[in-house]
Amino acid sequence: MSSSVSVPQSDYNWKISVLYVAISYAVTWSILFPLSMVFNELNTIDREIWHSLGSIGPSVGGIISLYVVKKKEGLKILKERLSKFSGTSLMIIPFAPLIILLIALIFEYVFGFFNLFTFFQQNSIFDLLSLIVFILPSLCYGFFEEIGWRGFFLPQLQGKFSAFKSTLILTIIWWFWHFPAFFYRFDLIFAFVFMLPLMLTGSIVFTYLFNQSRGSLLMVILLHIFYDIVSSHDISLVATILVSVFFICMDVRIFKKYGITHFSTFERVIL
């Protein structure tokens, strides 16, 4: 597939990409590998707070790498993209996982498959604090990951590669960045067999949303948070499956309508 939109040009420095990946891995792995060793000995609050802290790796790597490449201008660009609102036409996409979850829960409640009180009991949600702790990983990973992955790394890669190739490279590195969590957060078969292709279907939508919004980190942060809320807490298997189907349908539409070069109407976003 191809696109009629011209390809942006940018100097690509592979050493900066290596620096970003090295910092992201080093920070997160130094936090999460120790957690994996004592996970079963901790209470729920300590587990979730410690796990949430592991999300800062990509943001630390992204901010340092942006400063190395662009100095203060890089930090200014990051700040602008964090507050950038692209308009109402794209807002349905970030909120789609949450909408799908609510619809699924309504149907499950009507047919007797979901009970809110039982769900709160099973997940030790007894007050506002425990509710915050329950969603804390989704909030932290949705925000701090995107500072690095889409705030720095995707635009850095898109200065050299097509949107599709950039997304593929990012997804592989992003998937393996989760490695310490394979030992306490995910089923190993799921982590090694199914997680990467599922992440790729989502990453394509993330890249589309980022490029189509002309670099709105706010949009991809919201999508990441709401997707994690749906997929990371076993709230509704039906909703998780439907969100995956939504991403696959979006992928097909993106490839068919925009091609692999930019994944959007506009030129792909670069640093």
Q: What is the mean pLDDT of the chain?
A: 91
Averaged over 205-214, what is the pLDDT?
A: 96
**Amino acid 50: pLDDT:** 97
Residue 82, C-beta contacts closer than 8 angstroms, at least 6 positions apart: 147, 151, 217, 218, 221
The residue segments making up the domain with residue 135 are: 14-258
**Amino acid 6: pLDDT:** 43
Nearest to 158 by CA among 8, 13, 23: 8
CA distance 198 to 73: 35
Please say if the pLDDT value at position 175 is more than 50.
Answer: yes
End-to-end CA distance of the chain: 25
In a domain, 271, yes or no: no
Which alpha helices (DSSP H) does 178-258 contain, by range? 188-189, 195-212, 217-231, 237-258
CA distance 103 to 125: 22
What SS3 state is found at 258? helix
CA distance 60 to 58: 5
Please say if the pLDDT value at position 18 is more than 50.
Answer: yes
Using N-to-C axis directions, what is the helix angle for 237-258 and 217-231, rounded to 10°?
140
Number of domains in the chain: 1
Please say if the pLDDT value at position 195 is more than 60.
Answer: yes
Predicted TM-score of the model (pTM):
0.91
Better-scored residue on pLDDT, 55 or 119: 55
Q: In angstroms, what is the C-alpha Rg of the chain?
A: 19
Residue 164, C-beta contacts closer than 8 angstroms, at least 6 positions apart: 204, 260, 261, 263
Q: What share of the chain is helix, strand, coil (3-state, %, to 5)?
A: 75, 0, 25
In a domain, 198, yes or no: yes
Q: Report long-range pairs for 182-189 (Cβ below 8 Å, ≥24 apart).
A: 183/36, 184/35, 184/36, 184/39, 184/40, 185/51
In a domain, 264, yes or no: no
Which of the residue ranges 20-34, 83-97, 199-213 would you say has the lowest mean pLDDT? 83-97
Better-scored residue on pLDDT, 169 or 13: 169
Provide the pLDDT confidence category of residue 11 given band limits of 50, 70 and 90: low
In a domain, 1, yes or no: no
Report pLDDT digits (tens) over 114-148: 888 888 888 788 888 888 999 999 999 999 999 99
**Amino acid 7: pLDDT:** 47
Please say if the pLDDT value at position 170 is more than 50.
Answer: yes
Please say if the pLDDT value at position 253 is more than 90.
Answer: yes
Nearest to 80 by CA among 217, 201, 180, 191: 217
In a domain, 270, yes or no: no
Percent of the chain scoring above 70 in pLDDT: 96
**Pair of tokens at residue 8:** 């942006």
**Pair of tokens at residue 176:** 């393996």
In a domain, 218, yes or no: yes
Residue 206, C-beta contacts closer than 8 angstroms, at least 6 positions apart: 150, 167, 220, 223, 224
Q: What angle do CA 196, 29, 228 make, to 5 degrees?
A: 45
Averaged over 105-117, what is the pLDDT?
A: 89
In a domain, 3, yes or no: no
Which of the residue ranges 11-20, 39-48, 202-211, 244-253 would you say has the lowest mean pLDDT? 11-20
CA distance 230 to 98: 7
In a domain, 9, yes or no: no
The 8-class DSSP code of residue 113 comes to: S
